[in-house]
Amino acid sequence: EDQVTQSPEALRLQEGESSSLNCSYTVSGLRGLFWYRQDPGKGPEFLFTLYSAGEEKEKERLKATLTKKESFLHITAPKPEDSATYLCAVPVQGGSEKLVFGKGTKLTVNP
């Protein structure tokens, strides 16, 4: 069964304290791994798509990387506005829009 596991469940950082979030997956024939950000009371917001091991994508203070078994979301010098829940997802057999999401990492950045 296709699975996505994210760790840690919650992470508290001080402003400027860099860290990484982990997303491990078990899926046959990976057809992309997607990162989303979700703010309280809102729907998830798309961040990145990664397709192959070794691929990296960057956006402001975020950098996503992919290996054959996991993906990391690196947050460099975070700011309080980076506080959110970060979700990763993979498409499963049967359709590209049928995504399996991890349960997310809730990131809190204190000023």
Q: Kindly list the residues in this chain that would bind other proteins in the complex (CB under 8 A).
A: 31-32, 34, 36, 41-46, 49, 87, 89, 91, 94-104
Q: Cβ closer to other proteins: 33 or 109?
A: 33
CB 102 within 8 A of CB 24: no
Q: Rounded distance, CA 88 to CA 14, Å? A: 23
Q: Rounded distance, CA 107 to CA 109, Å? A: 7
- Name the minimum Å distance from CB 22 to other proteins: 16
- Name the minimum Å distance from CB 15 to other proteins: 28
Tokens of 11: 């992470």
Q: Cβ closer to other proteins: 1 or 60?
A: 1
Q: Cβ closer to other proteins: 46 or 79?
A: 46
Q: Rounded distance, CA 99 to CA 76, Å? A: 27
- Name the minimum Å distance from CB 77 to other proteins: 27
Q: Cβ closer to other proteins: 73 or 78?
A: 73
- Name the minimum Å distance from CB 44 to other proteins: 5
Burial of 14 (0-12, 13-18, 19+ CB in 10 A): exposed
